[in-house]
Amino acid sequence: MAETKWKGSPVHLAGDFPQKGTMAHDFVLVRNDLSPLRLSELKGKRVVMNIFPSMDTTVCATTVRRFNQLAASFPDTVVLCISRDLPFAQSRFCMAEGIENVITLSDFHLHSSFARNYGVLMTEGPLNGLLARAIVVIDHEGKVVYTELVPEITEEPDYKAVERAIRET
Active site residues: 60
Q: What is the CA radius of gyration of the chain?
A: 14
Q: 142 pairs with which residues across the strands?
A: none
Are 20 and 52 in contact by the 8 Å Cβ rule? The answer is: no
> What amino acid is encoded at 155 in this protein?
E
Residue 61 phi, psi (nearest 5): -60, -40
Closest CA to 67 of 55, 54, 49: 49
